Chain A
Amino acid sequence: MSQQALAKPLDPSEIQNPDPLVVAFCCNWCSYTGADLAGTSRLQYPPHARIIRVMCSGMVHPNLVIDALTKGADGVMICGCHPGDCHYIDGNLKTEKRAEAIKLMLEDFGLEPERFRLEWVSASEGPRFAQVMQEMIDGVKRLPPSSYKTG
Chain B
Amino acid sequence: MAAKVAEEWLNICGGCEVSILDIGDALLDLLPQLEFVHMPVLMDHKYHGQTGEGDPHKIEIPAADVGIISGGIRNEKEKAVALAMRNSCKTLITLGSCACFGGIPAMANMWTLEEMYEKVYRGSKTTEKSPTPNKDLPPLTDRVYAVDEAVKVDVAIPGCPPSPDMIKEALTCLLTGKPFTLPEKSVCDECPTKREKKAAGGDIKRPLDGMTFKQNAPWEETRCYMEQGYLCLGPVTKSGCAGQTTEAGEAKVPRCIKGYMPCRGCFGPVKKGANPLVDMMGAISSIGLKPEQVADRRALLSRYVGGQGRLKPLPAKPAPAKK
Contact = CB atoms under 8 A, between A and B. Distances in A.
Q: Do A and B actually bind?
A: yes
Interface of A: 61-63, 66, 94, 97-98, 100-102, 104-105, 108-110, 142, 144, 147
A101 B284 CA distance: 8
B318 A144 contact: yes
Q: Which of A100, A108, A110, A144 has the most CB of B within 10 A?
A: A108
Contacts of A108: 277, 297-298
The 5 closest A-B pairs by CB, nearest first: A110-B314, A101-B285, A62-B282, A147-B315, A101-B291
B84 interface: no
A100 B314 CA distance: 20
B33 interface: no
A98 B297 contact: no
Contacts of B275: 63, 66
Nearest to A102: B281
Contacts of B318: 144
A104 B281 contact: yes
Interface residues of B, number: 20
A23 B120 CA distance: 42
A105 B281 contact: yes
Contacts of A100: 285, 291-292
A109 B297 CA distance: 11
Contacts of B317: 110
A52 to B, nearest CB: 18
Interface of B: 274-275, 277-279, 281-282, 284-286, 288, 291-292, 297-298, 314-315, 317-318, 321
A98 B282 CA distance: 6
Contacts of A147: 315
A62 B281 contact: yes
Given A63-B274, A100-B291, A101-B285, 14 more contacts: A62-B282, A63-B278, A66-B275, A94-B286, A97-B286, A97-B288, A100-B292, A101-B282, A104-B291, A105-B278, A105-B281, A108-B298, A110-B317, A144-B318
A105 B279 CA distance: 11
A97 B201 CA distance: 12
B274 to A, nearest CB: 8
A126 B134 CA distance: 64
Q: Which of B291, B297, B317, B318 has the most CB of A within 10 A?
A: B291
B201 to A, nearest CB: 11
Q: Which of A63, A66, A94, A101 has the most CB of B within 10 A?
A: A101
B317 to A, nearest CB: 7
A105 B285 CA distance: 12
16 contacts: A62-B278, A62-B281, A63-B278, A63-B279, A98-B282, A100-B291, A100-B292, A101-B291, A104-B297, A105-B277, A105-B281, A108-B298, A109-B314, A110-B314, A110-B317, A147-B315
A63 B292 contact: no
Contacts of B285: 62, 97-98, 100-101
Nearest to B274: A63
